[in-house]
Amino acid sequence: MPHAHQRNRTDSRDIQQSGARADVFRRIGVKLRGRPYRRRSFDVVNIVGCNWFRLCVALARQGKYEEAENDFREVITTEQTALGPEHPATLGSRAGLSNVLTSQGKYTEAEAECRQLIPLQEKVFGPEHPSTLDTCYTLAYGLAQQGKLLDAKIFARRAADAASKVLGANHPTAQKYAKLLQDLRAR
């Protein structure tokens, strides 16, 4: 097992293997150290995927939703192939995609992604895990925007109740979920 300081080392041969990976490294500013990188390709994908995910999140935070969406889709394809569809990194990227789709007002696409994602998150993380609850919240918000208030209330209630139980009623995330549920009940 390599030491912690060796985890992010790579050399140009690894980066040249994939134009997409090279672009990601260039865009996030990973420094090359010129030392041989002899770890398995799984580890390279894990490291690249993690940094690529962070790039996608940064793009979304800057309001560059189309670019973030395209990058998330590439990350998901890479992660599903290399890590598998139920790997936590893959699930995290899919959740990021659903958030970006919702931010763009692509509620139908976001709904489909969330409905596929929630059962996988329940299986891998559990039904009350914060990631699962966040996807329930995203789905509830998107459903509300489409006028599907009954379904929206179901998912908002699930997120709010579980977050209050797991995180505590005063936690900012639990309060955010409760606020959505309150707003939906007022409609």
| CATH (domain of 180) | 1.25.40.10
- Looking at the structure of the chain, the number of domains it has is 2
% of residues, the chain, pLDDT over 70:
73
Statement: residue 83 has pLDDT above 80:
yes
Query: 3-class DSSP state for residue 81?
Result: helix
The SS3 of residue 87 is: coil
* 92 in the same domain as 123: no
End position of a domain, from candidates 104, 124, 147: 104
- The packing angle between helices 107-124 and 130-145, to 10°, is 160
**Residue 47 clears pLDDT 70, i.e. is over it:** no
User: How much is the pLDDT for 48?
Assistant: 54
Same domain, 158 and 112: yes
- Would you say the pTM of this structure is higher than 0.85? no
User: Domain range for residue 160?
Assistant: 106-187
Residues 83 and 166 in one domain: no
Residues 89 and 167 in one domain: no
Q: Which of 87, 104, 121 is the last residue of a domain?
A: 104
Same domain, 30 and 58: yes
Examine the domain organization and report whether 28 and 94 are in the same domain: yes
* 51 and 142 part of one domain: no
Do 125 and 81 lie in a common domain? no
Residue 96: CB partners within 8 Å, gap ≥ 6? Answer: 53, 56, 57, 60, 68, 72
Residue 85 DSSP symbol: T
Residue 78 sits in the same domain as residue 126:
no
- Give yes or no for residue 26 having a pLDDT over 50: no
Q: Is the pLDDT of residue 32 over 80?
A: no
Which tens digit of pLDDT belongs to each residue from 112-140?
999 999 999 999 999 999 999 999 999 99
Q: Are residues 6 and 94 in the same domain?
A: yes
Average pLDDT, the chain: 81
In angstroms, rounded to a whole number, what is the distance separating the alpha carbons of residues 141 and 114?
Answer: 11
CA distances from 37 to 6, 15, 53 (A): 9, 10, 22
Q: What is the CA radius of gyration of the chain?
A: 19
Same domain, 155 and 135: yes
Q: Are residues 73 and 3 in the same domain?
A: yes
Please tell me the distance from the alpha carbon of residue 96 to that of residue 50, in angstroms, as a whole number. 12
d(CA 18, CA 12): 11
